[in-house]
Amino acid sequence: MEQSFHRVPGTVKEQITLFDKNISMEAVKWAAVLTGLDENIMQMEHGYDTECTPELFSQGQWQLFSIARAAAADPELLLLDEITANLDVETEQAVLKALKRVSADRMVISISHRTMVELGRIISI
């Protein structure tokens, strides 16, 4: 997972699934809840079917979408590259909390110039 989010044309759901039909709506919602995005998504008129535009979410929320993508795909290993780069302190804490929740039952390796502490099974390089 890179430090910047690469948005794809499409809906909120498609930002998480990347058009992978094997990822169920249940997995999409689970990933959004895990990362703290679900509440914001559900406040939108069309929820997960809302067409995405760059201004729809903050930089930190887009970073949470990166984590949601990974969670929905359910990999055994996550490799992160500067996942908290260019984020303010409050947003960084939200991203780190989401990472901690997503790191359950998988190995996470994070490449970072900053030390990340108390993340359980996350290895910071």
Structural domain range at position 33: 12-124
- Assess if residue 32 is contained within a domain: yes
- Assess if residue 112 is contained within a domain: yes
Beta partners for 11? 51
- Assess if residue 54 is contained within a domain: yes
- Assess if residue 73 is contained within a domain: yes
- Assess if residue 120 is contained within a domain: yes
The string of pLDDT tens digits covering residues 28-64 is 999 999 889 999 999 999 999 999 999 999 888 888 8
Grouping H, G, I as helix, E, B as strand and the rest as coil, residue 110 is strand
The string of pLDDT tens digits covering residues 4-29 is 678 899 999 999 999 999 999 999 99
pLDDT at 87: 72
pLDDT at 109: 80
**Full-model pTM:** 0.76
The string of pLDDT tens digits covering residues 63-122 is 889 889 988 998 888 887 777 776 778 877 877 888 888 777 778 787 776 555 545 555
- Assess if residue 2 is contained within a domain: no
Q: What is the CATH number of the domain that holds 39?
A: 3.40.50.300
- Assess if residue 35 is contained within a domain: yes
Buried b (16+ CB within 10 A) or exposed e, 16-25: bbeeeeebee
C-alpha to C-alpha distance for 36 and 30, rounded to whole angstroms: 10
pLDDT at 2: 45
pLDDT at 124: 53
Q: Give how many domains the chain has, as a whole number.
A: 1
